[in-house]
Amino acid sequence: MNVIVVSFYLWLWRSAGLVHWIIYPVTLILIVEAGGHLVEWNKVRTLRRLSTSKLFANIQSETEALERMFQYEKLLYLPLPLGLIAGTIWGLAKGLDPKESIHICVQLIFWGASLALLVFLVISFVRMADPLLDDRELPLPGGTSGRAGRKKFRLKASATTHEARKVLDLTMMVVDLRKVYLFDSSHSVILLVACAAIALGWGAENKILLLLVFVMATFVFNHLPYIIGQSRLHENVLKPYEGLQRAEINAKLKEHAPYFPKWEFLAVMLTSSPAGGAVYFLLEHTVNRVLGG
């Protein structure tokens, strides 16, 4: 991608401003690639571990949906060439000099990237807020199956049996799957805030506003859908139970599959926040150099 961008620049403007311009696409793509590879590594590691379980068949459709979403997220690279081409065409049509054309390209790329990230964050919100486990896929007490013709395992009446443990194991597998969405959306939030801030021209004097926006976006797109999804998951798991059985299963769910992503929240706030700031200021510095600001 970097080679294509630089080659396109040389074809139009030769070497004028190339030193400053090359820093921009290289920095942006490396930041996206680095974070993307970490998220992909976490996804592959999690799915590989889950696939070794005998219960994997119960969530296989959800893992396939996750894989499809990750495939579609490759479209996040489109704003870079599209913004470059559109800005260049506009600059040539208006007779602008290379510096002004670059400014338009940069703005189009960041606005396009922000829009694409927002779309995928909405998709991730919907997926993360889903229970990711249909109650018809869960076994019912007494050895009956919730869906005709699909008996994956049976559950006896007692909530302390070995079969009941399978229900909790399946629930934990779903939690691990939801965390993959959580990490992916955390990466997208960082990039969204960074790209939108630069597109809006927020500088160093907007640090507090930037931090507030980042915290709000983290809650709205990361933690809120996670809480909703976990709540719906608990409802599906507890639906067949009553009385003491329900209390026992509910206690185990709250202990091992809580509504709120405790450790993930700390990780996002302690690592993503500085990372988001670093991404923002690095890109801001790069863009200022490109535009001679």
- CA dist 16 and 19 (Å) reads 8
Range of lowest pLDDT (114-128, 164-178, 261-275): 261-275
Q: Is the pLDDT of residue 18 over 60?
A: no
Indicate the average pLDDT of the chain: 76
Checking phi first, is residue 143 left (phi over 0); if not, alpha (psi -120 to 50) or beta? left
More confident of the two residues 134 and 159: 134
- Across 227-249, average pLDDT: 88
Checking phi first, is residue 31 left (phi over 0); if not, alpha (psi -120 to 50) or beta? alpha
More confident of the two residues 282 and 196: 196
Please report which helix (H) or strand (E) contains residue 39, including its range. helix 18-51
Tokens for 26, please give them: 């290289």
User: What is the SS3 assignment for 147?
Assistant: strand
- Across 234-252, average pLDDT: 86
User: What is the SS3 assignment for 141?
Assistant: strand
For residue 275, what are the contacts with CB-CB under 8 A and spacing of at least 6? Answer: 190
- CA dist 165 and 55 (Å) reads 12
| Contact call for residues 169 and 138 (beta carbons, < 8 A) | no
CA distances from 29 to 116, 158, 191, 221, 289 (A): 15, 55, 11, 23, 17
Find residue 24's DSSP bridge partners.
Answer: none
CA-based torsion, 218, 222, 225, 231: positive or negative: negative
248-257: per-residue pLDDT in tens? 889 999 988 8
- CA dist 130 and 106 (Å) reads 36
178 pLDDT band (50/70/90 cuts)?
very high
Per-residue model confidence (pLDDT) at position 157 = 43
- CA dist 57 and 4 (Å) reads 42
| Contact call for residues 146 and 136 (beta carbons, < 8 A) | yes
Q: Where are the domains of the chain?
A: 34-291
More confident of the two residues 273 and 20: 20
More confident of the two residues 214 and 127: 127
- CA dist 134 and 49 (Å) reads 21
- CA dist 257 and 125 (Å) reads 19
Per-residue model confidence (pLDDT) at position 193 = 87
| Contact call for residues 154 and 143 (beta carbons, < 8 A) | yes
| Contact call for residues 81 and 195 (beta carbons, < 8 A) | no
Provide the whole-model pTM.
Answer: 0.75
Per-residue model confidence (pLDDT) at position 256 = 87
Q: In the chain, what percentage of residues exceed pLDDT 70?
A: 67
| Contact call for residues 272 and 218 (beta carbons, < 8 A) | yes
> Using N-to-C axis directions, what is the helix angle for 162-200 and 18-51, rounded to 10°?
170
Please report which helix (H) or strand (E) contains residue 65, including its range. helix 60-72
Q: Is the pLDDT of residue 279 over 50?
A: no
Per-residue model confidence (pLDDT) at position 162 = 65
Per-residue model confidence (pLDDT) at position 137 = 59
